[in-house]
Amino acid sequence: MINYLKLFLKRKNNKEIDNTSLDFLTLQNCDNAVFILDNHLISKNKISYYNCNQNIDDIQVLYFTCINNKPLLFIAGKHNSHIPTSSVNFLPTFLHLAEKLGFNPVLLTIFEETFSCDRNMFVWARKNPSNCKVLEQGKYADTILQGYELQNQAKTFVSWETPYEDVIALDEVLVTQPSNEDDLIKYIFKVPVRIGNLVLNDFSFYDCHRKNIPVSNYFSYCEYKQVINKPYAFLKNALLENKSLTNASIDTEEDKTVIFSTKVKTEQLEFYFSNAYPVELDAANNKVFFLITNLKEYLNTVIYPEYILKLSIVNCTTLSGDITLDIQTYKETAHIYRVPTFIQEISQNKPFIWIDDNNDEIGFSDDRYAHIIPLAEVKYMCIETIEHSDGSIDSKLSIRPNGSNMEIINIFTSKSVDLSKFKEQIKRDIPVPIQCPLDDYL
């Protein structure tokens, strides 16, 4: 350590200019700089992945890592960020963080002198109080497969079947607006929640466009310090003490260099525990990620669209063959509906694309379901076909929504029909551009 300290001091003396923070105007106009302003850690980079704006008081873990041979500082807080150590003003910023959070700044020199892309290097983790507890046998009802109990005065029980709209309406649920425009709205419970024999002070779920289906995922970040320093195994074993999980399937992955995780799966639910950070960051692993997933399908909640204005079809085209609408995302999107009766009559239950002039929408349908999307939200369509060595294919037609961070939405899929054969027909009949997603990066 003395040698590393000498290296660090020598570096400071030899590169004094690197330790002098540039003025904020210069930094804000730089396309790869990092700095601290109003207690926020800010990284500005022409590659959006490396952008960051986090309140220092919200940071939970810092560690050095490497992606694509690029050394980075990973920051876990209200959201995760990666800052290149090569950023302008990185050293003064790191020194400020070290002073503010109380870690040894020599870690930067150690990381640079021993840099390797096959490992992570722990820097700092916030020590938070315990936020969960385990109840003794006989002091709780084993209702883990039915739902969860709010620890309010009334001990309100909430079924896993309760839809978003009803859970959001609970007095004990608080909506939090995201600090990042790309993040989802998050709902948190203001009171502890009991799930079987576990009582969690931290319990949340993210917003969903479709509000009439049960909440798909609840999650918690558990910290538990009364018994052991590393709570993963303790909380996993505590969960399995719930008798109703006796016949559940258990899938455990405990790689000593990556992540410890356990999935406890029943017919309708999945309970997942894992370390919040890679195993080798031992000092950071006092936090466990707990995820509850509702595995049931709720296709009966997909209803017909309600139109204020009657449909006016100004452009349309009919496809043929074994082509189906991709509805895997029906739980996350409100754009998926039952096929409007009027469209069924026109399309004769064949794959169909149309433009509705009255409602300014584009629609895609098969014989059962439809994607109906405002035209203003569509940037372009794209068609991709993959041919496999055994002669089979995977072909899909998708749309790219407007917005720089919006993911492509799959619309039509087929394992027997090459959708590219309809490209010229669609271009002729539907006034929406068709292009390759790779063009976005040219």
For residues 291 and 306, membership in a common domain is answered with no
Q: What is the pLDDT of residue 313?
A: 95
CATH number reported for the structural domain that contains residue 67 in this entry:
2.30.29
Q: What is the pLDDT of residue 164?
A: 97
Q: What is the pLDDT of residue 104?
A: 93
How many domains does the structure of the chain reveal?
3
Tens of pLDDT, residue by residue over 25-42, are 677 777 889 999 899 999
Angle 57-233-221 (CA atoms, 0-180°, nearest 5)? 30
- Given 97, 125, 153, the domain boundary residue is 125
For residues 279 and 137, membership in a common domain is answered with yes
- Given 125, 142, 177, the domain boundary residue is 125
For residues 319 and 293, membership in a common domain is answered with no
Domain that holds residue 360: 302-441
Angle 103-109-113 (CA atoms, 0-180°, nearest 5)? 140
For residues 54 and 182, membership in a common domain is answered with no
Q: What is the pLDDT of residue 22?
A: 60
CA distance 279 to 230: 11
pLDDT beyond 80 at 227:
no
For residues 382 and 309, membership in a common domain is answered with yes
> What is the number of residues in the chain?
442
- Given 297, 321, 353, the domain boundary residue is 297
Q: What is the pLDDT of residue 36?
A: 92
3-state secondary structure the chain: CHHHHHHHHHHHHHCHHHHCCCCHHHHHCCCEEEEEECCEEEEEECCHHHCEEEEHHHCCEEEEEEECCEEEEEEECCCEEEEECCCECHHHHHHHHHHHHCCCCHHHHHHHHCCCCCCCEEEEECCCCCCEEECCCCCCCCCCCCEEEECCCCCCEEECCCEHHHHHCCCCEEEECCCCCCCCCEEEECCCEEECCEEECCCEEECCCCCCCECCEEEEEEECCCCCCCCHHHHHHHHCCCHHHCCCEEEEEECCCCCEEEEEECCCEEEEEEECCCCCCHHHCCEEEEEEEECCCCHHHCCCCCCCCCCCEEEEEECCCCCEECCCCCCCCCCEEECCHHHHHHHCCCCEEEEECCCCEEEEECCCEEEEEEHHHEEEEEEEEEECCCCCEEEEEEEEECCCCCCCEEEEEECCCCHHHHHHHHHHHCCCCECCHHHHHC
Confidence of residue 290 (pLDDT cuts 50, 70, 90): very high
Answer yes or no: pTM beyond 0.95.
no
Confidence of residue 281 (pLDDT cuts 50, 70, 90): confident
Cα 358 versus chain centre, distance? 35
